[in-house]
Amino acid sequence: MKTKMASILIIDDESNLVRSLTFALEDEGHTVHGAGTAADGLSAAARVQPDLILLDLKLPDMSGLDVLEALKAQQTAAQIIMISAHGDTRSAVKAVKLGAADYITKPFDLDDLSMTIRATLERRQMADELAFHRGETLRESGLLGNSGAIRELVGTVERVATSNAMRILVLGESGTGKALVARAIHSASPRASAPFIEINCASLPEQLIEAELFGAEKGAYTGAHQRRVGLVALADKGTLFLDEIGELPLPLQAKLLHFLENGQYRPIGSGRTQTADVRVVAATNRDLAAAVVEASFREDLYFRLNVIQLNIPPLRERDDDVLALIEHFSREFAREERTRPITFSDEAKQALLAYRWPGNVRELKNLIERFTILYPGGKVDVSALPRELVSHDDMQLIKPVSVQLPGSPNIEDALASTERELMLNALREAGGHKGQAAERLGISRHAFKRRLQRLGIMKPTETLVDDAAA
């Protein structure tokens, strides 16, 4: 790495030393400023904003440690190398603990000092470049917007990504971008070069999820014709994303908890315990605290997962981001369709801003993709918008239903009837697509099918129109 030339401030009361260091460092191409007292040094640091400061531990008007603390209070970005007298390494070590980058002891060789300065500047340059690339990664991740809510989320994601936190829980409504956040955490982390493995906990039958997660030996169960490597093993040194964690069956919750506690697991049919170093990011649109009360989710697993919690705001709380997202998706789909981006009339924009977006960013993205295909490069007027986007009375796709039962209704019957009507309404509006109907109700497709079966709307062996086949 080629180190850039730097602006260096020397704070030392030995004028001859300052002069000789200035000559030597300027010969290397650096810009050098000198100060003989702590007061002059602090003033120069505020004025010059140097990249690096050489700070003597003993000054006539203040100790170097006090100057170091004052510089940190100024929030200087400069790297600080302490100059200590021979035998005063204890103070120098204390200075490093207080935030100094390094120290060097008098008398020192100019070559040694030059090497220390170069190493310090290189570390700073590497840190700056890494921070820049992590910022680029987050901007490219799809976490777009200028609202205070999204800026705060991006900042939190960046801090969490670079931390040592191994268990992260992402909460948010369906369509808010929980998978995007999980990928952004991985991509901006030191684990970015390792695998990012994703599993939807509601997408597989209960008997297959354990094998998918932890693996299975050949013949371990019916249909296990060969050895299966689990996703936990594949995610070693990387990130495992458990989407819809709230749908994980209770028996498997105990095994996941065991893995989270000690990093150990055992494939089905194996007598050998294995280990994996995995950061786990879990996501759900369910209220897990309520699920704990209902005994459908283990309390100990909830607390184990909920070390760091990220809440993704719904799009209706991010009004400032709607137009920015529309512009971004319009450009994205225009590139895919090799056409010009679509635009919207002022009246159409107002309707889009007034809409509450129950499907959040996913709903908005799907809308822009549809219009890009239907009106490539054109301007979309309010008359082309779906009815629910234009009629404020129809903002909520799932409207309250009125239930009247004969006689004196039992509350359980009333609730079941209401739930049945909501499920049927969602299915009708989604054209029979269970995935889309589940999204409208804010639940997973797996949970939606279970409710249909419980309410007698469909038999366990019966199937509905599948989104993948539509």
Among 104-118, 161-175, 220-234, 415-429, the range with the most confident prediction by mean pLDDT is: 161-175
pLDDT above 60: residue 404: no
- pTM given for the model: 0.56
Tell me what percent of the residues of the chain surpass a pLDDT of 90: 37
Does the residue 170 lie in any domain? yes
Q: Is 404 a domain residue?
A: no
**CA–CA separation, 215 and 223 (whole Å):** 14
What's the burial of 362, exposed, middle or buried (CB within 10 Å: 0-12/13-18/19+)? middle
Q: How many Cα atoms are found within 13 Å in the side-chain-facing hemisphere of 387?
A: 4
Q: How many domains would you assign to the chain?
A: 4
Tokens representing 76 are 């200087």
453 has pLDDT over 80:
no
Which is higher by pLDDT, 403 or 297?
297
Specify whether 166 is located in the same domain as 301: yes
Tell how many helices (H) and how many strands (E) occur in the chain.
19, 14
Where is the domain boundary, 275, 296, 311? 311
Residues whose CB falls within 8 Å of the CB of residue 238, separated by 6 or more in sequence, listed in order: 186, 191, 194, 195, 196, 197, 278, 279
Length of the chain: 470
Write the DSSP assignment of 41-103 as a string of letters.
HHHHHHHH--SEEEEESB-SSSBHHHHHHHHHHTT---EEEEEE-TT-HHHHHHHHHTT-SEE
Average pLDDT over all residues of the chain: 82
Residue 432, token pair as written in the block: 């029979």
Do residues 177 and 41 share a domain?
A: no
Backbone angles phi, psi at 54, to 5 degrees: -95, 115
Q: What is the mean pLDDT of residues 111-136?
A: 72
Q: Does a structural domain hold residue 94? A: yes
Most confident region among 38-52, 125-139, 218-232 by mean pLDDT: 38-52
- Band of the pLDDT at 150, cuts 50, 70, 90? confident
CATH number at residue 274: 3.40.50.300
Question: Which CATH number characterizes residue 113's domain?
Answer: 3.40.50.2300
Q: Which of 61-75, 106-120, 334-348, 445-459 has the lowest mean pLDDT?
A: 445-459
pLDDT value of residue 455: 73
Q: What pLDDT shows up at residue 345?
A: 92
* Separation in Å, CA 306 to CA 217, 253, 329, 402: 32, 14, 32, 38
Q: Of 334, 361, 394, which residue sits at a domain end?
A: 394
pLDDT band of 39, cuts 50, 70, 90: very high
- Exposed / middle / buried, residue 166 (Cβ in 10 Å: 0-12, 13-18, 19+): middle
Residue pair 212/199 in contact by the 8 Å Cβ criterion: yes
31 and 59 co-located in one domain: yes
CA distance 310 to 181: 9
Q: In the numeric block, which tokens belong to residue 124?
A: 């700073």
The answer to the question of residue 399 being in a domain is: no
Same structural domain, 276 and 418: no
Chain centroid offset of residue 107 CA: 49
Q: In the chain, what percentage of residues exceed pLDDT 70?
A: 84
Is position 400 within any domain? no
User: Furthest-apart CA pair in the chain: how many Å?
Assistant: 102
Note whether residue 260 is domain-resident: yes
Residues 272 and 323 in one domain: no
How confident is the model at residue 415, as a pLDDT? 60
Q: Are 449 and 342 in the same domain? A: no
Q: Residue 429 is part of a domain; what is its CATH number? A: 1.10.10
- Show Cβ contacts of residue 121 under 8 Å, excluding neighbours closer than 6 positions: 3, 4, 6, 51, 52, 79
The verdict on 181 and 291 lying in the same domain is yes
Q: Does 352 share its domain with 279?
A: no
Q: Is residue 301 part of a domain?
A: yes
How far is the C-alpha of 51 from the C-alpha of 37, rounded, in Å? 19
Whether 199 contacts 233, CB under 8 Å = no
**Given this model, what pLDDT does residue 396 score?**
37
Distance from chain centroid for Cα 416: 38
Residues 19 and 97 both lie in one domain: yes
According to the model, what pLDDT value does residue 67 have?
A: 92
pLDDT for position 344: 93
> Domain check: are 147 and 291 in the same one?
yes
Q: What is the pLDDT of residues 156-209, one digit of tens each?
A: 888 899 899 999 999 999 888 899 899 989 988 889 889 999 999 988 887 788
- Say whether pLDDT at 464 is over 60: no
pLDDT confidence band for 142 (50 / 70 / 90): low
Point out the domain boundary residue: 345, 364, 394: 394
CA distance 463 to 470: 14
Same domain, 272 and 288: yes
Within this chain, do residues 305 and 335 fall inside the same structural domain, yes or no?
A: no
SS (H, E, C) 169-184: EEECCCCCCHHHHHHH
| Strands, sheet with 102-105, edge to edge from the N-terminal-most edge strand | 31-35, 7-11, 52-56, 79-84, 102-105
Q: Is the pLDDT of residue 406 over 50?
A: no
Residues facing 284 on adjacent strands = 171
Report yes or no on 136 lying in a domain. Answer: no
Domain around 100: 7-131
In this structure, of 118-122, 412-416, 431-435, the range with the lowest mean pLDDT score is: 412-416
Residue 342 is predicted with a pLDDT of 93
Please state, in angstroms and rounded to a whole number, the distance separating the CA atoms of residues 158 and 135.
8
